[in-house]
Structure 1
Amino acid sequence: MNINVTAEPPTATELMARAEALLPLIEAQSAEAERLGHLTDEVVRELRKAGLFTMLYPRVVGGPEISHFDAMLIHEKITYAHASAGWYVGVNNMEGTTMAVYIDQAGVDHVFAKGVDITIAGNGVPRGFARKTDGGYMIWGQWAYGSGIQHADWIHTGAFLVDEAGEMIMGPGGPKVIIAHHPRETIELKGNWDVLGLRATGSFDYAVKEGTEIFVPDEMVYDFDIEAPLRGSHQGTIGLAGFSAWAHTSFALGTGRRILDELIKVIVPRRDAFGPSAQSASFRFQFAQNEAKFRAMRALVLETWKGASDTLEAGQPLSQHQMTMIKLCLRYSHDVISDIATFAHRAARGASLHNTVMQRVYRDIHAGTQHILMSDQIFEECGRALMGTTDPNAPWTVFGVADGGK
């Protein structure tokens, strides 16, 4: 290993304090970020300096490698201030950590030659293609939703593996997919991020130049369904399936809490033709229902992730049931915040029609529910596992239990 790790990484407590110190800046620059279509350079610079983009990175590359549970609480806090800032934090931790624990050592030595402070973005959902060649892969295609790519040093790209004839190579669970990592300068942005919500995530489409391919060496590539990390603690054993669930579920916690708090700010001082809104028995009843719904969801999420973190910290892999609950929380948390946001929007009676924080959070929540990981098939797989009809030894992948759907 050629990485020189000398500084003691920050603790979870220190990272939370740094995050809380940055919240006023994140809030103050959120409107400008929304206008730009990506976070401001200053906010990104401060998040990097605080180590919040790398809090899950393994200690062997200089990262703090705090628990997923502790990182979730920090992610939740940042997302509460500005969902797009939380999205950046989630993406960089997810894609950077998986790269750090799954690629070969030569790749790690190259990426982290100057230290742990790197940024990464892209889309691991395969939209392009890869062909094996001597020493690596030739990659081509166009990808969508490269969240945070405006500020990325490295690109994380999913690609279908094809043979010399261009036909997809099949594996036990379907087409073979690889995750390739390549420098930011190897791609071009399409500049097409004009969307309903999560406007400041800069989730532009990107592509290699039309009619060209890029070479990505073997040491910068790993298999989409990889299970065993090559370095770091047991945290890496949750794979892309677990890391992606962590990022999106953390987003749900922060935005769900914020939309309810913004609704309170609207309702308590408001008087209309029906009198003081806060005195409406109907509103009080519905607000209590939605508050309970959010708190119950959050309790389930934290119980699930605390148990998972304790298991991993004990040096044990997660059981299939634990991964099932992680995936269940992923989808369920978004169902809950979607319902809560719809209630808040209707109860506000016009307040969220205007360009306010409440409107922004409403849009961000419904943008988050559009992700492919919120598909009904995720819940279907959870149901299959919870009924005990899966192979109990089969691992979870990003999209389901890898037992052939038996």
Structure 2
Amino acid sequence: MTSPVLDTIMERAEEIRALGSVNEQLGRLDDKAAKVLRDSGMIRMLQPASYGGMEAHPREFAEAVMQIAALDGSTGWIAGIVGIHPWEMAMADPRVQQEIWGEDPDVWIASPYAPMGIARPVDGGYVFNGRWQFSSGTDHCDWIFLGAMLGDADGNMVTPPVGLHLILPRSDYEIVEGSWEVAGLKGTGSKDIIVRDAFVPDYRAIEFAKVIDGSQAREAGLTNPTYLVPFSCAFPLGITSAVIGMAEGALAHHLAYQRDRVSIVGTKIKDDPYVLYAISEAAEEIAASRTRLLDFVCRMHDEAAAGREVSFGERAAGRRTQVRAAWRAVQAMNEIVVRSGGNAMRTDNPIQRFWRDAHVGLSHAIHVPGAVYHVSALTDLDIEPPQGPMRSMI
């Protein structure tokens, strides 16, 4: 599938690729790399048309993320994570949409959604406090989604717990410099965020349960199927697509590197049947990861377009597909990286950066297989999974 975004990315592929090491050295996305994403329209793919967005099919979005991540992991990661935020913002109160995009449709929104803050109700909104890790691309964003738990008048979490996504302008939170010292995805600049006694008006709050069950999109009057796919399909999409793209990038560099390589014992790699076997197997596994993820996204979009509600079991199976796609791609990548020779680990060889980036991407919470596989198996057995954290991202 082609799109104007993909066309622009391919036109500027060498620029994105060349900036990979610069991003890593900076510990955030270089301003030039961020400008390429802005110019391409990548971050507006899922943005409402009323604010200059494309309202693209989620498959197009995923394919664009993969292509960018195959050029540079950190740039692809930012494309996938920052790029998904306009999808949820489409469901938010029109007042906050106007505040963010009214003057500039290219304003970026950061996150994280992890509920690490407490929102204490006050007249007209909430007083908000907390600290969050992993705010990817945050240096280039002017607004942020932050996960919160609803508190009582004393600031203690209410029971049963109520999750919120609160939306804040850059003036209401602190980016903690020096808080992103990591082995991979260094160029994402996924720094810590601190909020101290910020007032958040109630129209800038979204109840997380309504995002999960799809009622937030329906209440907002959205009809494009892109906004009606389940959150558990849309939110992980950019992250998993980026990881698969990194594996594709590692494979491409491996092929280029091995073409004329001679091993330390004097064997030309093109004559080594064991390495050739690993290349073919890895290439097929990575391709299968891409195909399964895109097929899942298309099925969810088709269900939404047909007006059918996606069941909990279908959502669980979809999360299983998404998690396994990431693991399959990274495991396949490992098989070729360990056959690339010691020189592949030199810092001037991009293979090692893709390898490190993909492993850090795989460690994201949405890729933890335990609870997802557990719940999916129970639903396959027609057994109702227990309530609680195991269902939280399904």
**TM-score normalised over the length of structure 2:** 0.90
Q: Give the one of 15, 20, 23 matched to 1:33.
A: 23
CA contact (8 A) 1:241 1:397 kept: no
- Give how far 1:126 is off: 1.1
Distance in 1, matches of 2:45 and 2:314, equals 23
Q: Which amino acid aligns with 1:284?
A: L
Residues 1:246 and 2:237 aligned together = yes
Q: Give the one of 153, 157, 179 matched to 2:165.
A: 179
Q: Which amino acid aligns with 2:54?
A: P
- Give how far 1:68 is off: 0.4
For structure 2, the 5+ residue unaligned runs are none
Q: Which residue of 1 aligns with 2:254?
A: 263
After superposition, what is the alpha-carbon deviation per residue over 1:142-181, rounded to whole angstroms, capped at 9, x for unaligned?
100000000001011001111123332233xxx2111111
Q: Give the one of 83, 96, 116 matched to 1:107.
A: 96
Change (3 A) 1:124 1:296: same
SS across alignment from 2:44 = coil
Q: Which amino acid aligns with 2:98?
A: D
Distance in 1, matches of 2:33 and 2:74, equals 11
Q: Which residue of 1 aligns with 2:133?
A: 144
- Give how far 1:400 is off: 4.2
Q: How many residues align?
A: 381
- Give how far 1:265 is off: 2.2
Change (3 A) 1:200 1:136: same
Q: Which residue of 1 aligns with 2:199?
A: 215
After superposition, what is the alpha-carbon deviation per residue over 1:347-393, rounded to whole angstroms, capped at 9, x for unaligned?
112133211210100000100011111122122222223333238xx
After TM superposition, the structure 1 = structure 2 runs for residues 7-406 of structure 1, keeping only pairs within 5 Å, are 13-101=3-91, 103-171=92-160, 175-191=161-177, 192-208=179-195, 212-226=196-210, 227-228=214-215, 229=217, 230-232=220-222, 233-271=224-262, 272-273=264-265, 275-355=267-347, 356-375=349-368, 376-390=370-384, 399-401=392-394
Distance in 2, matches of 1:338 and 1:253, equals 7
SS across alignment from 2:192 = strand
Change (3 A) 1:50 1:260: closer
Distance in 2, matches of 1:106 and 1:80, equals 37
| 136-145 vs 112-121, greater mean Cα deviation | 112-121
After superposition, what is the alpha-carbon deviation per residue over 1:280-302, rounded to whole angstroms, capped at 9, x for unaligned?
22222232222222222222222
Distance in 1, matches of 2:135 and 2:242, equals 17
| 147-156 vs 295-304, greater mean Cα deviation | 295-304
SS across alignment from 1:293 = helix
Distance in 1, matches of 2:353 and 2:165, equals 33
Distance in 1, matches of 2:31 and 2:2, equals 25
Q: Which amino acid aligns with 1:238?
A: V
- Give how far 1:216 is off: 0.7
CA contact (8 A) 2:48 2:86 kept: no
Distance in 2, matches of 1:76 and 1:400, equals 22
Q: Which amino acid aligns with 1:224?
A: F
Q: Which amino acid aligns with 1:340?
A: A
- Give how far 1:195 is off: 0.6
The ranges of structure 1 where at least 4 consecutive aligned residues each deviate by more than 6 angstroms after the TM superposition are: none
Change (3 A) 1:293 1:371: same
SS across alignment from 2:229 = helix
Distance in 1, matches of 2:390 and 2:113, equals 13
Q: Which amino acid aligns with 1:202?
A: G
CA contact (8 A) 2:43 2:83 kept: yes
Distance in 1, matches of 2:315 and 2:361, equals 21
Identical columns (%): 23
SS across alignment from 2:184 = coil
